[in-house]
Amino acid sequence: MLKPKCVFILDCTSELFVWIGKKASRLLKMAGQKMATEFHQIIERPEFCTICREIEGEESTVFRSKFSSWDDIVPFDFTMTADTVQRRGADIKVIMERDKMKTDLVALFLDRLPTMPHEEADQLIEDFNLDLEVIESFVLEGKKFVRLPKEELGIFYTMDCYVFLCRYFDYNEELSENGSKGSVEGGNGGDVSEEEDKEVDFKCVVYFWQGREASNMGWLNFTFSLKRKFESLFKDKLEVVRMNQQQENHKFLSHFKRKILIRRGRREATLKLNEPELFHMRANGSSICTRTIQVDCRVSSLNSAFCYILRTPCADGDESGVIYVWKGSKCDSYFFKIAEEVANELVKKDLKLPIEIIEEGKEPQLFWQTLGGGGGSRKYDKNADFMQHTRLFRCTNEKGYFSVSEKTVDFCQEDLENDDVMIVDDGNFVYIWLGTGASEVEIKLAYKAAQVYCGHIQMKQPERPRKLLLSIKDHESKRFSRLFHGWGKHKIPAGTEGK
């Protein structure tokens, strides 16, 4: 009850006490003393009544007697040796305070990053591409990296590895300033263009992209072959960036200008035309992060808030199929235009298939038959309100203490760490996701952290109360999996295949 940072006044009519905490500010101490004086004069008191000043830790017996639960016993640990006392001190309170379990829950109280406007994203894409001189792409075939045909730039496969060599202009501003000063001092008086002032240099960044189902052998092959060649060519001007599927940085994504198509399986010379394909276009947090990912070809994969591209199967030996670009009733027209371009440039490519634009509610029968809903069963989500609220937090003990950190808004299934506990918020529910390798301590502390988060959100958004739900790895509900773009089977951690 008596807090170190506060000042308390205890009025017993015939006795008046001012208790001052050790951490109380000077202003509080003065205010408490002044208020006690005022209390003393407000009501009639015995002549012997005085104001007693009590300091924390030095309280008088009379003051202590006013509290029924005051403990006068001095805590002491008789198990402590002289060596322990010398190292850690003898004050039990200080030791307990120091040994208290450290936690970091700051991320739970921070606001969600706002969605980037389309105009701002377009400008950022333009800025990222200003200094790009050339981009060369390679794909791993067998044990060698071969050049990727230009018409396949932007098409990725989940079981393949890609390498992108980007050469950027690098303007040396210091040399530019020195050069301009020299021209002035020389007194030539001639007009010198900005291009002549600046010394143009270059730098190279190699992006290694690995599909979520690809083996780590791709990275080893790159490290001992292509990477060494690049290092011998560009020396200290080379930077290598390793990225996994759906965990790319904004600069890399900007080079594709929102046209990224991710197909399942391996890159093959011939496409299996006799099998249908369904692609889901979605952007998390910013249109820079727009990706078109292959999903299960069924009605339940649809959502009225997004665009989809469906390629119907072709009969053997002909190209009788159709490519549908489906626009949901709540879809942003900004993304619908991009979906048309992706369908024409990346899905259709060299195929002689017609592209049909269809809106929700005006689908032909072939569209539903391809998705398995020709019989009338056409249930799918009608909105994606969760896109404005989704947040992913990671709960872990890897730092030596329990900490909660928030993943980027552009999170994906691979961000669900198998050895940790994750907290996922979709605006209506807060899920506690348990990885199979999470410890019992992490689970208990994550549960408490989720409760704290729900209480915080309840105060900030009383109109959207959250319900706490449990989700276990490999047993996630559709309501949970829809929060992740391109959800699929979990990747089996290395070394656990046989377990």
Over 50: is that where the pLDDT of 192 sits?
no
> What DSSP string runs through 56-123?
TT---HHHHTT-TT---PPP--TT--HHHHHHH-S-HHHHHHHHSPPEE-GGGGSPPPPPPPHHHHHH
pLDDT given for residue 177 in this prediction: 47
pTM: 0.76
- Show Cβ contacts of residue 31 under 8 Å, excluding neighbours closer than 6 positions: 7
Confidence category of residue 186, pLDDT binned at 50, 70, 90? very low
List, as one string, the DSSP characters of 144-199.
EEEEPPGGGTTEEETT-EEEEEEEEEEEEHHHHHHHHHHHHHHT------HHHHSE
Q: Which tens digits make up the pLDDT trace of 342-398?
A: 999 999 887 888 999 999 999 999 999 999 876 667 899 999 999 999 999 999 998
Residue 323 contacts residue 356 (beta carbons within 8 Å): yes
For residue 384, the model assigns a pLDDT of 93
* pLDDT band at residue 79 under the 50/70/90 scheme: low
Q: Domains of the chain, with CATH numbers?
A: 7-99 (3.40.20.10), 131-182+196-262 (3.40.20.10), 270-370 (3.40.20.10), 386-481 (3.40.20.10)
pLDDT of residue 304: 96
Residues 131-168 pLDDT 10s = 999 999 999 998 899 999 999 999 999 999 999 999 99
Whether residue 209 is predicted with pLDDT greater than 50 in this model: the reply is: yes
